């Protein structure tokens, strides 16, 4: 059994809220629902269920938010990957059009996070403001279509297209052809959000255990999840370990593949340089398939990430990989010190539709957000709380989409994913 690990050496870990820790499981406990995985999905579900009065036990192999939930770019972006596929598959199977339901779901994560920040006084450096940016005229045309669609849907928040000159004045670089601002999106400190949500769930009665890897599920009318030092017996189990857990391989094997994503953080830039680099203080994300994303931290560091690696191999130097990307957009940062570099694994699904389902009648799973986890994990937390307590409507929309396993093991699967991404890279290069 692998020894539990501490948080990676990221800027987030260095600036994390201190004192939010939980014991390892020792002995046998009982709960209404056992959750395996202490990232955003597991913690969001635990908090939702605890608010409803259910007895929850959560097992985390390492530390709360140890994986992608505590290492990501900190961008809160509405939407769910694969929305059109879900709508089409559900209509094919049931004859029902769930377009309006999908639209409501796609923005509900933004609402849930805002409500929790306010309700539990969560200090996670949350800030409104986000812009998708594009390199080509076709990206700008897409932005105008998107703006029109949202306005027709009576989207109640500021959204508008900006062309090159105005965009440059907002984000301090003329690298891009245009962009679309969305003020309902934003950015935050993801590790502090997840830690604070775990603290809130614990205060409501959730039993949270760190350094407690789940080793086995004993199936039955009341499944039992075993660790090295104890067990949790519950009516229902939720697997939410994303790219890291290896349980229920018969149901889940070959359907989810870990891909690496990487971030560097500079030293604090100071107010003057930060104002030159990103005057708007928006989060920025490129509207390409192989993309970079970046933003300023609360203490005015540039956090620059991207270059998702689908092969399963990490770069020898994250800084050497990411620094030229950052200087491409912001050459003024050439003399600024990079103080942190880190990476992690995100769960990629071939068809890009999040995987929500059941391996047995009382063992559920939720994983595979393909890089859109901050928003989607909170949507899923609410959906899974509903599903495990008997309300299946939204769960069924996700579960209607088939996920076909790739045979040949993880290595072969990652190579297939990497090969597939070459196609999308070629699409990025088209005019």
pLDDT score of 423: 44
Provide the greatest CA pair distance for the chain: 63
Segment 246-273 shows an average pLDDT of 85
To the nearest whole percent, how much of the chain has pLDDT over 90? 79
pLDDT score of 51: 98
Roughly what angle, to the nearest 10 degrees, separates helices 40-51 and 190-203? Answer: 30
DSSP states of 362-383: TEEEEE--TT-HHHHHHHHHHH
pLDDT score of 417: 52
Q: Answer yes or no: is pLDDT of 428 > 60.
A: no
Strand, coil or helix: 48: helix
Among the residue ranges 45-54, 251-260, 345-354, the one predicted with the least confidence is 251-260
Strand pairing of 292-296 and 283-286?
antiparallel
How sure is the predictor about 244, in pLDDT bands with cuts at 50, 70 and 90? low
Contacts of 300 (CB under 8 A, 6+ apart): 268, 269, 270, 271, 273, 274
Q: Answer yes or no: is pLDDT of 414 > 90.
A: no
Among the residue ranges 66-80, 175-189, 236-250, the one predicted with the least confidence is 236-250
pLDDT score of 104: 96
Long-range pairs, 327-336, Cβ under 8 A, ≥24: 328/175, 329/173, 329/175, 329/292, 329/294, 330/172, 330/173, 330/277, 330/302, 332/273, 332/276, 332/277, 333/266, 333/269, 333/277, 333/302, 336/266, 336/267, 336/269, 336/273, 336/302
pLDDT score of 112: 98
pLDDT score of 194: 98
46 φ, ψ to 5°? Answer: -60, -40
How sure is the predictor about 314, in pLDDT bands with cuts at 50, 70 and 90? confident
Q: Answer yes or no: is pLDDT of 288 > 60.
A: yes
Segment 7-35 shows an average pLDDT of 97
Q: Answer yes or no: is pLDDT of 411 > 50.
A: no
Among the residue ranges 156-170, 176-190, 237-251, the one predicted with the least confidence is 237-251
pLDDT score of 370: 77
**Mean pLDDT of the chain, nearest integer:** 91
Q: Answer yes or no: is pLDDT of 192 > 90.
A: yes
Q: Which helix (H) or strand (E) holds 192?
A: helix 190-203
* Residue pair 305/315 in contact by the 8 Å Cβ criterion: no
To the nearest whole percent, how much of the chain has pLDDT over 70? 91
pLDDT score of 259: 78
pLDDT score of 39: 96
Sign of the torsion formed by the C-alpha atoms of 98, 100, 101 and 105: positive
pTM: 0.93
Q: Which domains does the chain have, with CATH numbers?
A: 1-126+188-254+350-400 (3.50.50.60), 127-187+256-349+407-431 (3.30.9.10)
Segment 212-231 shows an average pLDDT of 96
Q: Answer yes or no: is pLDDT of 412 > 50.
A: no
Strand, coil or helix: 10: coil
Segment 98-116 shows an average pLDDT of 97
């Amino acid at each position: 059994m692998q020894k539990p690990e501490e948080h990676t050496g990221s800027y987030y870990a260095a600036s994390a809220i201190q004192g939010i820790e939980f014991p390892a499981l020792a002995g046998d406990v009982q709960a209404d629902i056992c959750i395996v995985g202490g990232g955003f999905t597991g913690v969001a579900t635990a908090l939702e269920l605890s608010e409803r009065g259910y007895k929850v036990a959560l097992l985390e192999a390492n530390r709360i938010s140890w994986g992608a939930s505590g290492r990501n770019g900190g961008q809160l972006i509405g939407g769910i990957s694969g929305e059109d596929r879900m709508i089409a598959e559900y209509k094919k199977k049931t004859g029902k059009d769930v377009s309006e339901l999908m639209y409501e779901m796609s923005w509900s994560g933004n609402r849930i996070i805002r409500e929790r920040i306010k309700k539990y006084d969560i200090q996670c450096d949350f800030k409104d403001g986000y812009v998708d940016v594009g390199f080509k005229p076709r990206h700008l045309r897409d932005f105008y279509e998107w703006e029109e669609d949202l306005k027709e849907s009576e989207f109640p928040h500021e959204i508008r297209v900006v062309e090159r000159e105005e965009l440059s004045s907002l984000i301090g670089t003329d690298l891009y052809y245009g962009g679309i601002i969305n003020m309902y999106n934003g950015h935050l400190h993801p590790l502090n959000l997840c830690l604070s949500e775990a603290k809130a769930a614990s205060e409501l009665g959730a039993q949270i255990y760190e350094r407690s890897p789940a080793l086995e599920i004993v199936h039955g009318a009341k499944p039992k999840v075993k660790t090295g030092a104890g067990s949790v017996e519950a009516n229902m189990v939720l697997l939410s370990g994303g790219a890291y857990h290896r349980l229920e391989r018969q149901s889940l094997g070959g359907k989810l593949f870990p891909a690496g994503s990487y971030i560097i953080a500079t030293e604090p830039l100071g107010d003057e340089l930060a104002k030159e680099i990103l005057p708007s203080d928006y989060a920025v994300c490129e509207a390409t398939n192989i993309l970079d994303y970046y933003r300023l931290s609360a203490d005015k560091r540039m956090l620059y990430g991207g270059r998702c690696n689908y092969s399963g191999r990490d770069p020898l130097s994250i800084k050497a990989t990411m620094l030229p990307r950052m200087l491409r957009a912001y050459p003024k940062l050439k003399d600024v010190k990079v103080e942190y570099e880190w990476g992690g694994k995100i769960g990629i699904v071939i068809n890009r539709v999040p995987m929500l389902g059941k391996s047995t009648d009382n063992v559920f799973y939720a994983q595979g957000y393909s890089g859109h986890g901050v928003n989607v994990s909170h949507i899923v937390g609410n959906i899974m709380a509903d599903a495990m307590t008997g309300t299946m409507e939204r769960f069924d929309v996700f579960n209607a989409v088939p996920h076909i396993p790739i045979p040949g093991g993880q290595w072969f699967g990652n190579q297939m994913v990497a090969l597939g991404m070459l196609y999308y890279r070629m699409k990025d290069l088209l005019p």
